[in-house]
């Protein structure tokens, strides 16, 4: 589904931008830097058969702050190529059911901090060079996603290939500064992770889904 959305966005966006009948400005920008800040929601399903306490604890890790920055060199026409970084930060405190050394179930208080980072090469299509205050852009990035989770003295780490897609509308407050909302989708799945130096391979129904949907405020600085 995630791949289909990217393909559809790449195919549709050029028609959307070309439909705007505007004149190209004489002085075209060569570079664009776009910082992001917003909120994101992880889309992986909750595990089944868990207690309400555990479910509430996990819910706290399924949404968090999403920040990032991308930088592009604007090539001929409406295209741009560059690099992108995104970071997701979430934390949760709660209680979960665990087994003690005697094999008995007990409830333990836990505190977890999660981070998901994406770094990759990105392609952007926009109307930034056109003489209109209403700016549109989409970008597609491919790169590496790294995931870290820390609960007490247990540190888990993992990485995988990932993809990221954004579509945004911005309003030009000046000739070189645009602001507005952006909707993003980041995808990736971990087949294994390392916990305090020990590698654990996940079964198909236990893989760590890192896909998230984000809504951000963005600003573009073109020059």
Read off the pLDDT of residues 3-33 as tens digits, 9 standing for 90 and up. Answer: 555 544 544 555 445 444 444 445 689 999 9
Quote the mean pLDDT of the chain: 89
**Which tokens go with 108?**
């333990």
How many other CB atoms are there within 10 angstroms of residue 144's CB atom? 13
- Residue 100: the pLDDT is 67
Distance CA 123, CA 112 (A): 35
Q: Provide the pLDDT for residue 1.
A: 54
Residue with tokens 């949404």: 63
Give the per-residue pLDDT at 54: 87
> Looking at residue 15, what is its pLDDT?
47
Q: What is the pLDDT of residues 55-104, one digit of tens each?
A: 999 999 999 999 999 999 999 889 999 999 999 999 999 987 766 667 77
Residues 72, 2, 38, 117, CA torsion sign: negative
Mean pLDDT, to the nearest integer, of 145-163?
97
Confidence of residue 210 (pLDDT cuts 50, 70, 90): very high
Closest CA to 47 of 33, 62, 32: 62
Question: 50 vs 12, 95, 102, CA distance in Å?
Answer: 42, 12, 21
Q: Is the pLDDT of residue 50 over 80?
A: yes
The CA distance from 155 to 148, in Å, is: 7
Q: Which of 181, 184, 151, 162 is nearest to 41 (CA)?
A: 184
Give the pLDDT score at 138. 97
Q: Inform me whether the pLDDT recorded for 155 exceeds 70.
A: yes
């Amino acid at each position: 589904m995630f791949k289909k959305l990217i393909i559809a966005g790449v195919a549709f966006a050029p028609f959307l931008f070309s439909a705007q009948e505007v004149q190209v400005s004489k002085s075209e920008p060569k570079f664009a830097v776009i910082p992001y800040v917003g909120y994101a929601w992880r889309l992986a399903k909750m595990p089944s058969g868990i207690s309400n306490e555990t479910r509430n604890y996990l819910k706290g890790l399924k949404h968090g702050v999403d920040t990032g920055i991308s930088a592009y060199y604007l090539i001929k026409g409406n295209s741009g190529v560059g690099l992108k970084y995104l970071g997701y930060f979430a934390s949760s405190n709660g209680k979960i059911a665990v087994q003690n050394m005697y094999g008995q179930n007990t409830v333990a208080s836990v505190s977890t901090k999660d981070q998901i980072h994406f770094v990759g090469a990105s392609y952007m299509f926009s109307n930034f060079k056109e003489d209109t205050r209403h700016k549109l852009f989409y970008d597609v990035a491919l790169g590496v996603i790294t995931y870290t989770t820390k609960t007490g003295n247990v540190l888990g780490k993992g990485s995988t290939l990932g993809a990221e897609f954004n579509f945004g509308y911005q309003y030009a407050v000046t000739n070189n500064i645009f602001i507005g909302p952006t909707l993003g989708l980041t995808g990736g799945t971990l087949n294994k992770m390392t916990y305090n130096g020990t590698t654990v391979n996940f079964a198909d129904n236990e893989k760590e889904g890192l896909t998230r949907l984000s809504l951000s405020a963005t600003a573009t600085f073109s020059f």
